Amino acid sequence: MLYALLCNDKPDHLQLRLDTRASHLDYLSSLSDRLKFAGPFLGDDAKPNGSLVVVEAPDLDAAKEIAADDPYAKAGLFASVDIRPWNWAIKNPDNK
């Protein structure tokens, strides 16, 4: 099952995001095939203010664990994280 992790940064925490970015990217890489895609949300100023991460996990608890282990989450960057089951219906490369 796929899960979308919708993460919203705390206001005025851009520097924390930048300081933690390398370990966040390393963590995402460590997820290997469980990571389907990821990237930042951008504010009106074109600066990152959140993240969208889509992962494959056996259940919601496993998806929550993936989200909690993210260095951004551990650093306290996020004001909120919404984890929702997601169906990749259109342009899914696994559905050839």
Domain boundaries, the chain: 2-86
**What's the pTM value of the predicted model, to 2 decimals?**
0.94
Neighbours of 52 (CB within 10 A): 13
Q: What is the CA radius of gyration of the chain?
A: 13
Class of domain 2-86: alpha beta
Q: How far apart are CA 66 and CA 35, in angstroms?
A: 10
Mean pLDDT of 23-33: 98
pLDDT given for residue 95 in this prediction: 81
The burial of 71, by beta-carbon neighbours within 10 Å (0-12 exposed, 13-18 middle, 19 or more buried), is given as middle
Q: What is the tens place of the pLDDT at every residue in 44-85? A: 999 999 999 999 999 999 999 999 999 999 999 999 999 999
pLDDT given for residue 94 in this prediction: 83
Mean pLDDT of 19-27: 98
